[in-house]
Amino acid sequence: MTPNLTYIVVVGVLFAAGVTLLLERSLTRVLMGVILLGNGANLLLLTGGRAGGPPIVGTSDADEMSDPLPQAMVLTAIVITLGMTAFLLALSYRSWHLNGHDEVQDDVEDRRIMDLADRDEGPGTDDADQSDSDDQLDGDGRPDPDSQRPSAASVAATAGGRGRDA
């Protein structure tokens, strides 16, 4: 059985709209994107099955039975989509209570990476901060915890020569 062209177009539209909505900042739109992607996946799975009689042995010939696997996979996909929807609804509700909106904020590291990409530099070629801290990295490229601790002289200088009790 060949799938109907209408099904293929609808699956494509559902996936395109779902991905577009997933890329938005609002959790409500992300939720709608997940729902559209779930429905598109369900329709895609159903187009892979064969129409026919009920898949019960003894009611019809084996050649005339429908394929039960896509139906079982669609039921599983419905449960997964429902779980993701419930999680995103809870996340959106919590964000609305805490912030008064459901917009996802930029992370500090995200902004730094975007700035590097705008300057067309890789993560290994950071500005002066990276060159100054190269000697403070251990063998794995992570900051050396011992080099982050201030020396006793610098602690005394910043304390203004005061003792421990000050």
Inform me whether the pLDDT recorded for 80 exceeds 90: yes
135 CB contacts (<8 Å, ≥6 apart)? 147
The Cα–Cα gap between 29 and 155 comes to: 51
Cβ neighbour number for residue 10 with a 10 Å cutoff: 16
Q: Which residue has the tokens 């990476």?
A: 113
Inform me whether the pLDDT recorded for 55 exceeds 90: no
Inform me whether the pLDDT recorded for 91 exceeds 60: yes
pLDDT of residue 155: 47
Inform me whether the pLDDT recorded for 36 exceeds 90: yes
Inform me whether the pLDDT recorded for 163 exceeds 60: no
Cβ neighbour number for residue 157 with a 10 Å cutoff: 11
Using 50, 70 and 90 to split pLDDT, how confident is the model at 109? confident
Using 50, 70 and 90 to split pLDDT, how confident is the model at 142? low
pLDDT of residue 166: 42
Token duo for residue 133: 């801290």
Token duo for residue 34: 């997940």
pLDDT of residue 87: 93
